[in-house]
Structure 1
Amino acid sequence: MTERSNQSVRRAFKLVDELAENGPRGVSELADQLDMPVSTVHDYLQALIATGYVTKDESAYKTTTRFLEVGHRQCHRLEVFKAVRDELETVAEETGEHATLLIEEDDQAVIVAVQEGPDAINLFAYPGARMPLHATAPGKAMLAHMPTERVTDIIDRHGLVEVTPQTVTDPDVLFDQLEDVRSQGYAIDVGERIAGMVCIAAPILDKNDRIRGAICVCGPRSRLDEDRRSEIADVAQRAANVTQVNLDYV
């Protein structure tokens, strides 16, 4: 592929990202936001409309549900998604909280599936949402079972961005936490990504001890005291273990 073709693809996806992030926009508004000529933006939008991934509503352009279709198809191709579906529902019911399955992709933690228990608060968590590995319990659960060289490379490429004042930004502290995760079998973050929330996550390993994802439970700090955190960690670990067994039969 030529550099010109690469640039065209990048520009098209910049338009898609802008529409997905900020909602319907007009041509001029998109051109200003992305610092692109109006005529170029118009041409890309027409091409995206032709593919069915963008549509026009009066004078505004927006993404279509084709992306939802693509995402669902990809989820159902994931072995870990097939292996965890029933367990995730059980976790949400037993804890009453917000339960998610996450995987690592392109050095980020990505939500693949969501289940809400009867007491779950609205976290605006949805399949496809991405977050830094170091700032989340599921991210740490996965980092703990990656080779040290891989973790170091991720830190070198992306740094340890402070998401909240509680986020770990010191590599030495992070590596100490990852050692604790391996020792206790689960990870925890207290307000490191979302202020006031506690998240507890158990890693999902396959029979070769390769990390395949993490099961995470999140709830408000006021409800998740020390005793409650221990109970939830047990539930998440049991579910991760069952998922590991299920992976052998997917």
Structure 2
Amino acid sequence: MGTNNSPRRVKSDETLFAILKSLKESNGAGVTELAKQLNLAKSSIHRHLKTMEDHGFVVNEEGKYKIGLQFLNYGEYARNRYEVYQASKQQVEMLAAETGEMAWLIAHENGMVMYLYGAGGDTELNVDTIVGTWTYMHYNSGGKAILAHLPRPKVEEIVANRGLPAKTEQTITDSEDLFEELAEVRDRGFALNMGEDLEGIRAVGVPIIFEGRVHGALSVAGPAHRLTKERCVNEISTQLLAAADDVELNLAYK
């Protein structure tokens, strides 16, 4: 998720991260396969793999290296350090039960948002396959809810670093259009995603604000035939705003 304009990079670290990315995308690979994929010497690949294996970050299964469980240790620590995670879990599950749709807790780092916790409602979707994934803020309802409550210079910095890539024909790709929509989000209290991320999928997001800082967002998403604009604006938004109030209360009395 790093930006491409970092002034300095450590080459060995870049190699290590490239190896990890390849292991994740290929669901495991051997030294020779990785060397071909990354155009690197097998000796270099092997040294990195052995170091990571010694620390539990990869595991060697009959010559095929895979991501190790040590990452779960670090991942759970990273998620638990967000106070909003523990404060929101019950409300996410409640939203999914009440609406029958997918409900999410979304957090932001370095100009991107991550699905931190989710519940599937009446859908058959395995939310675990989405939890932990990154997405752009400008076409995500929770992301827009967060952007609307960040200082304008911070939003400008995010746009400059991340850009406004189009995901669908509905995606906002002009910065002035984005700032106009963010003003609307602040006025009405919630953000809409009308197929800007995925065609046929709509979502509503609200910010979680505590002590003057936006800690994340709650969102509800589902297919357009169930999440009509009227339902999003009149029903889902009301449920989300009430849930956000509960989360903020939980943060206050943690």
TM class, shorter-length: over 0.9
Structure 1 alignment gaps of length 5 or more: none
Q: CA deviation at 1:226?
A: 2.4
What secondary structure is seen at the aligned counterpart in 2 of 1:71? helix
1:163-209, CA deviations, whole angstroms, 9 ceiling, x for partnerless residues?
A: 22221101111111101100110001111112210011110000x22
CA contact (8 A) 2:171 2:196 kept: yes
Does residue 1:42 correspond to 2:46, yes or no?
yes
Deviation at 1:86, TM superposition (A): 1.1
**CA displacement at 1:127 relative to structure 2:** 2.6
The reply on whether 1:159 has 2:163 as its aligned counterpart is yes
Deviation, 1:56, is 1.5
Matched, 1:220 2:223: yes
Residue ranges of structure 2 left out of the alignment (5+ in a row): 1-7
| 2:181 is aligned with 1:177 | yes
Q: What is the CA-CA distance between 1:65 and the residue it aligns to?
A: 2.1
Tell me the residue number matched to 1:209. Answer: 212
Equivalent pairs counted in the alignment come to: 246
Q: Is the 8 A contact 1:114 1:125 kept in 2?
A: no
Who is 1:112 aligned against? Answer: 116
What's the % identity of the aligned pairs?
34
Residues 98 and 120 in structure 1, CA contact (< 8 A), matched pair in contact too? no
- Please list the CA deviations of residues 59-112 of structure 1 after superposition, one character each: whole Å capped at 9, or x if unmatched: 321102221222122222211111111111111110111111011101101111
Report the Cα offset of residue 22 of structure 1. Answer: 2.6
Name the CA shift for 1:236/1:120 in 2 (closer, same or farther; >3 Å). farther
State whether structure 2 residue 66 is matched by structure 1 residue 26: no
Among candidates 30, 51, 60, match of residue 64 of structure 2: 60
2:79 maps to what in 1?
A: 75
1:7 is displaced (CA, Å) by 2.3
Distance in 2 separating the partners of 1:173 and 1:65: 43
Q: CA RMSD in A?
A: 1.8
> Is contact 2:85-2:117 (8 Å) kept?
yes
Structure 1 residues 122 and 190 mapped into 2: Cα distance closer, same or farther (>3 Å)? Answer: farther
State the one-letter code of the partner of 1:19: L
1:13 counterpart residue number: 17
Pairwise CA distance, 1:35 = 2.1
In structure 2, do the counterparts of structure 1 residues 102 and 125 end up closer, same or farther at CA, with 3 Å as the change threshold?
farther
Give the TM-score, by structure 1 length: 0.93
